[in-house]
Amino acid sequence: MGGPLAHAQGRIRPCTGDLGAIVRYATTGVARDHLSRIHQRATTALLGRGSAEGFLDYWPPVAQDENADPRDRGYAKWLVDTDKVVLSTTLTKAPWERTRVVNAPAAEVVAGLRATGDGDILVNSSPSIIKPLLAADLIDRLYLLLCPEILGGGQRLFEDGLPGSQWRATRQETGELGETAFVYDRIRRR
């Protein structure tokens, strides 16, 4: 497979705009353990502008909070300390340290990162990046958190027209509230 893996973390839910609906699920032990796994081998975070700006408001203070859940704090420290690439057509400067802003298609950016990097690339909760990477068959692993609520609208992660692909479930865990964490690895025929 040459080069680092591209991982995508997303939440299967009908609405990606209102994260308030998933907070009670995202703070369970199952969800926090899932979050702890997603960044273990990643050396680069690839984010869309909206996710980057939202993460900037939330995660850096968690990294400094000694009272925060250790799993949240571990992820927050990783995110603050790792190299970040933010895809944006509107940002003119990096929103935080160790960040560069790139105005290019996601597939081109990932191909460049794979060619020059030595660790995995994590795309975290950025459907605007995950969808074109799925279409270009550049995602090797999906981390999904299924929250048992129907919000009734919003952006879809899996759009019609994606090329067919096969995935193997490598992990599944369900929590007390019915939230289910899944890890799927891409099956590639050689």
Where is pLDDT greater, at 173 or 148?
Answer: 173
pLDDT over threshold 70, residue 14 = no
In a domain? residue 123: yes
Residue 114 tokens read as: 């794979």
For 88-117, letters b (16+ CB in 10 Å) and e give beebeeebeeebebbeeebbebbeebbeeb
Least confidently predicted of 30-39, 41-50, 64-73, 116-125: 116-125
Provide the domain count of the chain: 1
Q: Which domain holds residue 68?
A: 6-187
Q: Are 1 and 129 in contact (CB under 8 A)?
A: no
Q: What is the DSSP letter of 4?
A: P
In a domain? residue 72: yes
pLDDT for 72 equals 94
In a domain? residue 142: yes
- Please name which of 179, 171, 144 lies closest in space to residue 25, comparing C-alpha atoms: 179
- Sheet-wide strand order for 99-102: 99-102, 83-87, 42-48, 120-124, 6-12, 141-146, 180-187, 166-174
> Which pTM does this prediction carry?
0.84
pLDDT over threshold 80, residue 81 = yes
In a domain? residue 164: yes
pLDDT over threshold 70, residue 180 = yes
pLDDT for 108 equals 95
In a domain? residue 1: no
In a domain? residue 161: yes
Where is pLDDT greater, at 100 or 11?
Answer: 100
Q: Are 139 and 133 in contact (CB under 8 A)?
A: yes
- Helix %, strand %, coil % of the chain (to 5): 35, 25, 40
Report the CATH number at residue 168: 3.40.430.10
In a domain? residue 112: yes
